[in-house]
Structure 1
Amino acid sequence: MVSIEVLGDKEKPMSLNKYAAACALIASTISIIFGYDTGVMSGALPLIQEELKINDTQQEIVAGILNLCALVGSLLAGRTSDYIGRRYTIVLASSLFFIGSIVMGFSPSYAVLMIGRCIAGVGVGFALMIAPVYTAEISAANTRGLLSSLPEVGIAIGILFGYLSNYSLAKLPLNLSWRVMLGIAAIPSCVLAFGILKMPESPRWLIMQGRIGDAKRVLIMVSNTKEEAEIRLTDMKLASGIADSVEDDVIKMVKQTHGEGVYKELIIHPTPTVLWMLIATIGIHFFEHATGIEAVILYSHKIFKKAGIHDKSKLRLATVGVGVTKATFVVIATLILDKVGRRRLVLISVTGMIVALACLGSFLTYISHLEESPLWALVCSIVSTYTYVAFFNIGLAPVSWVYSSEIFPSRLRAQGHSIGVAVNRLMNAAVSMSFLTISNAITIGGTFFMFCGISVLALIFFYFFLPETRGKTLEEMEDVFRRKKK
């Protein structure tokens, strides 16, 4: 895979750095664990309901509480990663996942299960904030889209693994099946916590601490040439207010270096450029889940049951198809993101989602007026669901995480991205905790028409508020938003 990076006035071919790719892959492992937890809950919920005798409201709470706790975790993670570094924040996230998975795996009651979900939820917040930021900060400009979308690929792979786990482990005795499904995530969490310590720290975080020598050594490892490393180091130093002539390995920074006062710069007294970045970040994360993806991921078994599939084994198999579709199209998006561009890809994605949601709402509404679903309507409902998942994952899903992790200046990046993640988790929780209630009130078909209308609003927002960032270095982002280029 070859891309182009501008070095001075010349353009040189630049291949993907293998070490940077390896670091991004390891960091993305934490997203696989989160994705697994999301996917496996789809199949675990009916089993939990059967054993613990919980109602629809309690199901919604179990499904959504993880995301409410993730909201808290994401807000804490921004400042934490500025203070202890990106790498140790990933270790902390892995540890929280491990504890939460163990508690859920041994849950004797609904209350204990909720405690485990809350602990894991805080870990989710940390993971979703730090993995894209770390990856963006070690990546070169023209491969950043590819590497920064790997966490979303990890989520898709994890969801698929969760669905496959549902399909295979559901045959275990009832009191073991869902507990094994939830508890098994502790194994990769433990492995990741140790593996991440072999990775280097983010060079941009090191620069903010005045550790220029350490940052230079990391940049040499994640760059293809020493010349490229020097250019990247110079850009980072200038962006942090350090003169290029400074050659010391360690210097004392004049400005605060552990994230102090960042929220004031982001929220209370932002510049017009930072305000636009914040609006774009909040908007893209709001619409990622307000358009309904969590309803499909978490409650696909109920959607397919409404469409006419009643056999439990066939329901699980149809759900696996959602996971396969998600993983396939996220991988495709990862490969084309740096070529097509963030803005174009997300506009194509949301347009396709609007059409698919309109079709799904129509077919489900038609089926709801019949005593038995005709085969053609069932097939069209399944195809519409898969089409929606495909369009969502080829654009909006990866772009949301890549975009908000790359647009803020280094000093504001972690905490700015954490605000986006908090909004993301809030909307995720809102959809997962209200879908059953809303669908009971306005029918399941009506609910997808609602998501279709929200997607239209999303398309308008993205058209006016998301400038293109493809091929720009992190240090050039302020110019992109200042000039209002599309």
Structure 2
Amino acid sequence: MFEGSHILGEYSCCADIPAKMTTDPLEEDEVLQNKKRETKKYIFACAVFASLNSVLLGYDVGVMSGAIIFIQEDLKITEVQQEVLVGILSIISLLGSLAGGKTSDAIGRKWTIGLAVVIFQTGGAVMALAPSFKVLMIGRLMAGVGIGFGVMIAPVYIAEISPAIARGSLTSFPEIFINFGILLGYISNYAFSRLPPHINWRVMLGVGLLPSVVIAIALFVIPESPRWLVVQNRIEEARAVLLKINDSEKEAEEKLQEIQVAAGSANADNYESKAVWKEILCPTPPVRRMLITGCGIQCFQQVTGIDATVYYSPTIFKNAGITGNSELLAATVAVGFTKTLFILIAIFLIDKLGRKPLLYASTIGMTICLFSLSLSLAFLSHAKVGIALAILAVCGNVASFSVGLGPICWVLSSEIFPLRLRAQASALGAVGSRVSSGAISMSFLSVSSAITVAGTFFVFGCISCCAVGFVHYCVPETRGKTLEEIEVLFKDEDDLEESEVEMGDVERLVQKS
């Protein structure tokens, strides 16, 4: 019953249990329950370690909202340079996201996470020591590439090691850590704001390098994705990982067979013979539906203005009537706490209520809050009630985002694509997210000057209305389904008949192998 339990090594308290157990049903049940608990802990630890990259992105978003005030004072940069400095990270990160898909297929999900850390750490160090705007931009570009790698690979890795029943919660971890990083960035802004202007922003940026050390250590703990190992025809290594993340040897073997069939099997040569990008750029109807859902939800996540809200929250509160840098930064800390709290709530609900109900609540809540913020800035600016309503609307907007659109965007984009396309298609979705984020961040100040901050958030409210319709018509419910079962949701009857024939051929080849 417990052959292979030694595979768990240090991660399982069951490692020293003898292979032959007593036939006492109570003892067997107790051992089985212990094994299940240890397996859950191991998967949880893997998801946490893989998500640490997201702290870097979140910290950068949060800290730059305050650091930009002091960078402007120290380096005397223009408003346009501020926009470029803030938004360029998202734009340049698309290079990392695009390269990340191919890289993760070549060197594996795990070591792509490591590559992301190295690149970001180098860029962060350059930014913290930058003597001029040009050098600061060079560091910003490098950090952007590293973040691009990180944001696309973490959800893919977690989705591929998680059980279906908990995949939604676990795949949401990167979003949790983004929010945690944003909160840390806000706190860092407030904590170091009283240092001299030529030092404080450097300290703020430099502190962001600390999580990289933890991530480097984590790489020696987490395993490689078993699905990637199967694609590489490293079957025994995949089996060893599956024994660690499943409750029994039988379950691990069944999952291995299922993955082999889904991958097309290395012996069937399906994975190697198909050009992945050709299939993405000239998609079949099911793949087209997946791309619309995956890339669409990624774009809506950003074009509803969440990064503008986070990056420029001091500007928003200044328009509402709050004065003084310390007061502005203190108000942003409240936004950070709200954002972090509600992402934790989402984790508990995503696998209980499902993806779609939370997306409805999220997009509708964001729409209400964005219109409320617009009205408060337009008609109640500098009044006490206007300031209170603006803070409430901003906090409500980030809360609504965090309870649905924020985490579920990454969950969906990592689970709806078939294994052969998952890394590259997820990378394409991440590109859409990063381009949208960069476009919003780099244009917010200019657009706000043209149509006012209130008008800008009214536009975001209109876009959020469209997001509600997109969720209704284009997003299926994937709660509780395996990655292989989710593919079926995007197929019509003709597609299903054709795939049944293909799967039968692949299964026969797997059995022969």
TM-score of the superposed pair, with normalisation by structure 1: 0.92
Aligned to 1:473: 482
446, 467, 470: which one aligns with 2:455 = 446
Q: Deviations over 1:102-123 (max 9, x none)?
A: 1001000000000000000000
For structure 1, which segment, 218-227 or 306-315, has the greater mean C-alpha deviation from structure 2 after superposition? 218-227
Aligned partner letter, 2:405: L
Aligned to 1:79: 102
Q: Given that residues 288 and 397 in structure 1 are in contact (C-alpha distance below 8 angstroms), is that contact kept between their aligned partners in structure 2?
A: yes
181, 186, 193: which one aligns with 2:204 = 181
Quote how far apart the aligned CAs of 1:367 are: 3.1
Aligned to 1:281: 294
Aligned to 1:43: 66
Q: Deviations over 1:208-246 (max 9, x none)?
A: 01111111110111112223222221210111233xxxx
Q: Given that residues 264 and 271 in structure 2 are in contact (C-alpha distance below 8 angstroms), is that contact kept between their aligned partners in structure 1?
A: no
Kindly report which structure 2 residues correspond to 1:183-222, keeping only aligned pairs within 5 A, or say none: 183-222=206-245
Q: Given that residues 135 and 147 in structure 1 are in contact (C-alpha distance below 8 angstroms), is that contact kept between their aligned partners in structure 2?
A: yes
Aligned to 2:5: none
Aligned to 1:314: 327
Q: Given that residues 90 and 193 in structure 1 are in contact (C-alpha distance below 8 angstroms), is that contact kept between their aligned partners in structure 2?
A: no
Q: Aligned partners of 1:342 and 1:191: how far apart in 2?
A: 31
Quote how far apart the aligned CAs of 1:199 are: 1.4
Aligned to 1:158: 181
Kindly report which structure 2 residues correspond to 1:398-417, keeping only aligned pairs within 5 A, or say none: 398-417=407-426
Quote how far apart the aligned CAs of 1:253 are: 6.0
SS in 2 for 1:472: coil
Q: Deviations over 1:388-447 (max 9, x none)?
A: 110011000000001000110111000000000000000000110011111111111111
Q: Given that residues 210 and 253 in structure 1 are in contact (C-alpha distance below 8 angstroms), is that contact kept between their aligned partners in structure 2?
A: no
Q: Deviations over 1:120-143 (max 9, x none)?
A: 000010000100000000000011
Aligned to 1:460: 469
Aligned partner letter, 2:179: A
Aligned to 1:53: 76
Quote how far apart the aligned CAs of 1:254 are: 2.1
Q: Given that residues 439 and 447 in structure 1 are in contact (C-alpha distance below 8 angstroms), is that contact kept between their aligned partners in structure 2?
A: yes
437, 452, 471: which one aligns with 2:446 = 437
Quote how far apart the aligned CAs of 1:195 are: 2.4
Q: Aligned partners of 1:357 and 1:230: how far apart in 2?
A: 50
Kindly report which structure 2 residues correspond to 1:85-484, keeping only aligned pairs within 5 A, or say none: 85-242=108-265, 254-257=269-272, 261-268=275-282, 270-368=283-381, 373-483=382-492
Q: Deviations over 1:56-110 (max 9, x none)?
A: 1100000011111101110010001001100110000000111011100100000
Q: Given that residues 209 and 253 in structure 1 are in contact (C-alpha distance below 8 angstroms), is that contact kept between their aligned partners in structure 2?
A: no
For structure 1, which segment, 168-177 or 315-324, has the greater mean C-alpha deviation from structure 2 after superposition? 168-177
SS in 2 for 1:323: helix
Q: Aligned partners of 2:206 and 2:278: how far apart in 1?
A: 40
Quote how far apart the aligned CAs of 1:260 are: 6.9
Quote how far apart the aligned CAs of 1:256 are: 4.5
Q: Aligned partners of 2:202 and 2:336: how far apart in 1?
A: 21
Change (3 A) 1:86 1:310: same
Quote how far apart the aligned CAs of 1:483 are: 4.6
Quote how far apart the aligned CAs of 1:481 are: 1.3
Q: Which has the larger radius of gyration?
A: 2
Q: Aligned partners of 1:89 and 1:203: how far apart in 2?
A: 15
Aligned partner letter, 1:466: V
Q: Aligned partners of 1:101 and 1:76: how far apart in 2?
A: 20
Aligned partner letter, 1:169: F
Q: Given that residues 193 and 326 in structure 2 are in contact (C-alpha distance below 8 angstroms), is that contact kept between their aligned partners in structure 1?
A: no
59, 66, 86: which one aligns with 2:89 = 66
Q: Deviations over 1:312-362 (max 9, x none)?
A: 211111000111011000111011100111111111110111111111100
Aligned to 1:4: none
For structure 1, which segment, 215-224 or 425-434, has the greater mean C-alpha deviation from structure 2 after superposition? 215-224
Q: Given that residues 346 and 399 in structure 1 are in contact (C-alpha distance below 8 angstroms), is that contact kept between their aligned partners in structure 2?
A: yes
Unaligned runs of at least 5 residues, structure 2: 1-31, 494-513
Q: Aligned partners of 1:482 and 1:201: how far apart in 2?
A: 30
Q: Aligned partners of 1:343 and 1:229: how far apart in 2?
A: 30
CA RMSD of aligned residues (A): 1.7
Q: Aligned partners of 1:474 and 1:252: how far apart in 2?
A: 21
Q: Following TM superposition, where does structure 1 have runs of at least 4 consecutive aligned residues deviating by more than 4 angstroms?
A: 12-16
Q: Aligned partners of 2:131 and 2:279: how far apart in 1?
A: 46
Aligned to 1:6: none
Unaligned runs of at least 5 residues, structure 1: 1-11, 243-250
Q: Deviations over 1:170-194 (max 9, x none)?
A: 1222111111111222232133124
Residue-pair matches, total: 459
Q: Aligned partners of 1:308 and 1:227: how far apart in 2?
A: 64
Q: Aligned partners of 2:384 and 2:193: how far apart in 1?
A: 27
TM-score of the superposed pair, with normalisation by structure 2: 0.87
Aligned partner letter, 2:370: L
Aligned partner letter, 1:337: I
For structure 1, which segment, 221-230 or 80-89, has the greater mean C-alpha deviation from structure 2 after superposition? 221-230
Q: Aligned partners of 1:158 and 1:228: how far apart in 2?
A: 37
SS in 2 for 1:433: helix
Q: Aligned partners of 1:32 and 1:465: how far apart in 2?
A: 30
Aligned partner letter, 1:108: P
Q: Aligned partners of 2:241 and 2:158: how far apart in 1?
A: 13
Q: Aligned partners of 1:96 and 1:342: how far apart in 2?
A: 33
For structure 1, which segment, 309-318 or 56-65, has the greater mean C-alpha deviation from structure 2 after superposition? 309-318
For structure 1, which segment, 393-402 or 29-38, has the greater mean C-alpha deviation from structure 2 after superposition? 29-38
Q: Aligned partners of 1:252 and 1:176: how far apart in 2?
A: 59
Q: Aligned partners of 1:218 and 1:313: how far apart in 2?
A: 50
Q: Given that residues 98 and 190 in structure 1 are in contact (C-alpha distance below 8 angstroms), is that contact kept between their aligned partners in structure 2?
A: no
Q: Given that residues 87 and 197 in structure 1 are in contact (C-alpha distance below 8 angstroms), is that contact kept between their aligned partners in structure 2?
A: no
Q: Aligned partners of 1:384 and 1:34: how far apart in 2?
A: 24
